[in-house]
Amino acid sequence: MSQLKIAVAGASGRMGRMLIEAIQEASDTVLTGALDVPGSSSLGSDAAAFLGSPAGVLIESDLARGLQGAQILIDFTRPEGTLEHLRYCAEHGIKMVIGTTGFDQAGKDAIAAAAQKTAIMLSPNMSVGVNVTLKLLEMAAKSFAEGYDIEIIEAHHRHKIDAPSGTALKMGEVIADALGRNLDDVAVYAREGITGARDPSSIGFAAIRGGDIVGDHTVLFAGIGERIEISHKSSSRVTYAHGSLRAARFLADKSSGLYDMQDVLNLK
């Protein structure tokens, strides 16, 4: 069986290193490229040196060198970097697994357009557990359509730059779709001062940032006389890495199209 040739963006970051370790440990994947931003102190070093077992792959900022020979790029960086990688990958037929969050509508449109040229798996959270949770939320929302107020509470480490998290927003979208609502019309992202009574059709969000919290998400369905909470808590980024490799394997026989983890896990 031939190995799947994978490159990693943000190779010297926490998630990048977790991905490289997972690729190195899997028997059916091989690291062929590693990218980081220009000026990074890691440029020119072996991407797997931190493991004590070099991969023979240097960290590059040049896309042509960093993606040479890669079939798939796994990207957990920032929207501006991911969109630059996207343009190159679409032009050269390299597939992408995108875990970056914080895209605006123009960015989402660019990803959808690129998916006509190459296969892309886009998800704000690669965790298998989170994506099963999304399915549970869809089911719950249909049962709690009347008489229950919906709040989404998420917590992440102090270094996370976007809020609410992409996962929290995805949870909101899944719930809103199940209720026949548009999240943009019903989302409440902040409360302060005299807010008045709660609109029963709204979906509230609260974001906590602190310490080294990997990622906690809870959806609260608050009714009269009872509360139902559906939660997912991450204790390690390794679950995102393993989910990303599962997504890469899913894309192996795809030539184009835009997919998400629900497709990968056959939850649709």
Distance in angstroms (rounded) separating the CA atoms of residues 133 and 230: 8
Catalytic positions, written as ranges: 156, 160
Distance in angstroms (rounded) separating the CA atoms of residues 124 and 138: 17
Encode 19-31: b = buried (16+ Cβ within 10 Å), e = exposed.
bbbbbeebeebbb
Q: What is the pTM of this model?
A: 0.83
Distance in angstroms (rounded) separating the CA atoms of residues 123 and 235: 19
Q: What is the pLDDT of residues 40-84, one digit of tens each?
A: 999 999 999 999 999 999 999 999 999 999 999 999 999 999 999
Q: At what angle do helices 128-143 and 166-178 cross, to 10 degrees?
A: 30
All residues at 6 or more sequence positions from 5 whose CB lies less than 8 Å from its CB, including other chains: 30, 32, 69, 70, 71, 72
3-class state of residue 7 by DSSP:
strand
pLDDT of res. 1: 61
The answer to whether 188 and 205 have CB atoms below 8 angstroms apart is yes
pLDDT of res. 2: 87
The CA radius of gyration of the chain, in Å to the nearest whole number, is: 20
CA 16 to the chain's CA centroid? 13
Residues in the chain where the model's pLDDT stays below 50: none
Domains (range + CATH), the chain: 4-122+237-264 (3.40.50.720), 128-234 (3.30.360.10)
3-class state of residue 96 by DSSP:
strand
